[in-house]
Amino acid sequence: MTNTPPTITLDNIVDASCGNTDGAVNVTVSQTPCTYTINLFDSYGDGWNGAGLTVTVGGVAAPGSPFTLIAGFNGSFTFTALPGQAVVFDYAPGAWEGEVSYEIYQDGNLVFNDGPNPATGIVFTSSCPTYTYSWSNGGATED
């Protein structure tokens, strides 16, 4: 699974004086949110008949959740999560489960799919990755 890498910005760069350790730099790291896409399918075309996929992001319902098909063969929903946020998918059944299936994508990569006759309850958990970095000036002290 890939996520957009963080953007690293260096500014206020001050070169060290000859032979000294008096240089400086400001480092700013910004991470982008993850984009999740849920594709819902109904093979008969009459919607999910009461079924729904509830999604929480960081413990809060994703906008539009629970996701369902009122009518039709398919539908697609998109939401975002910030780096480090847990994303939980909880499926509740309806009638005619043999018609129901769905796919979950994170940043364009298929990470989970189920159906027909999808499992119920918490079916998948994910998180938007975080990045860490380590900085060293090679010295024994920090600024």
The pair of structure tokens assigned to 137 is 């000036």
pTM of the model: 0.78
C-alpha–C-alpha distance, residues 93 and 76, integer Å: 18
| Percentage with pLDDT > 90 across the chain | 67
Indicate whether 1 pLDDT > 50: no
pLDDT tens by residue, 14-44: 776 777 767 777 776 777 899 999 999 999 9
pLDDT over 80 at 122, yes or no: yes
**Average pLDDT over all residues of the chain:** 87
**Residue range 75-100: average pLDDT?**
97
Q: Is 140 helix (H, G, I), strand (E, B) or coil?
A: coil
The 109-114 sheet, strands edge to edge = 74-81, 34-42, 100-106, 109-114
**Complete DSSP assignment for 98-127:** GGEEEEEEETTEEEEEE-SS---EEEEEEE
